[in-house]
Structure 1
Amino acid sequence: MTASCRVPTVADAEAIARLHVAGWREAYAGIVPSTILDNVDVADRIARWQDYLAGDGVTFLAEEEGAAAGFIRAGALSEPMVAGADGHIFALYVLRRHHRRGIGRRLLGLVAGEWLARGGRALSVGVLTENAPALAFYQGVGASFAQAETYRWEGHELPESIYVFRNLEELAGFA
């Protein structure tokens, strides 16, 4: 089964918000305190996604059989996390039941191509250091470790690894 990918509209905000929360719960179980994951306000996430989708970032939605399977959101930061990285991947989630189908690679390729088209040169991404599958994925598609940081989420400090994609032309080939 092949996922279709498209630029979502504000009408997709609820589907993406629900996928985002489900993605957090799948990826961060045992890493992020369950009190945080259990108490995510979906209505707040929907409102945020309505704002994101009305903004000027780069977002792609992957669907399989008409249902949201994954998404990616990227854009500019006011202060780059890594020297030379003029863009940042804010979120990339693919629901576990859709893993190993090339969806994450394809979403990365679409974002890389769009970032290049906008004149971009490199993209950074932050990954919770304890999220071993995500670290392996990013390393496997050519990201290079740049630095260690601390991500603060609801008063909890979580180790974060910052990676950078400097090979956007190659990455765009995944689209």
Structure 2
Amino acid sequence: MIIRLADVKDAKGIARVQVESWHTTYPGIVPKSYLDSLDVKKREKIWKQAAQNQPLYVAELEGDIVGFAIGGENRDKDTYPEYDGELYAIYSLKRVHKRGIGRELFEQTARNLSARGFKKMVVSVLSENPAVDFYKHMGGHFLGEETITIDGKAIAESFYGYDDISKI
């Protein structure tokens, strides 16, 4: 396994991982209509831009992108103002779970945020996502919960905080 910085040529692989991850993680949690609307081509455009604008890490296994993570400045400083950094997204294909790929992506992103001067990090995750335990295992403590709406369905979203990312 290789963890490396992504570039624009990785966008299609990143988009594929994101869409496939949603399809394997969120049935019964997120409306089928939303899952059916996810499109690799549309997501590819988003990830091309993201790869140009800030550090985005990919996990590669035998030449294939099997996971990715990205973080930056906290986008919701009104809710959790003491957290300056945020893990925006972390995904890996279900077939590679339990191999340490998520941990490596998480740690690399946290180290990058710390190197960029961020002190604390917040992450949001759909509360019914089986990966909630991963965030706890990585040292996150529960901050609170909000309700978001996806395709008309109210869904609980949990927030976890990491108080000293220099120690991750």
- Which TM-score band (shorter chain)? over 0.9
CA contact (8 A) 1:142 1:167 kept: no
Q: Which residue pairs with 2:100 in the alignment?
A: 102
Q: Which residue pairs with 2:30 in the alignment?
A: 32
Once residues 50 and 128 of structure 2 are traced to their aligned partners in structure 1, the CA distance between those partners, rounded to angstroms, is 27
Matched residue SS, 2:44: helix
Equivalences for 1:60-139 in 2 at 5 Å? 60-80=57-77, 81-131=79-129, 133-139=130-136
Q: Aligned-pair distance for 1:107?
A: 0.7
Once residues 74 and 37 of structure 2 are traced to their aligned partners in structure 1, the CA distance between those partners, rounded to angstroms, is 28
TM-score (norm 2): 0.93
Q: Which residue pairs with 1:152 in the alignment?
A: 149
Root-mean-square deviation (Å): 1.3
Identity of aligned residues (%): 37
TM-score (norm 1): 0.90
Q: Aligned-pair distance for 1:158?
A: 1.0
Q: Aligned-pair distance for 1:78?
A: 4.4
Q: Name the count of aligned residue pairs.
A: 167
What code does the residue aligned with 2:15 have? A
CA contact (8 A) 1:4 1:64 kept: yes
Matched residue SS, 1:51: helix
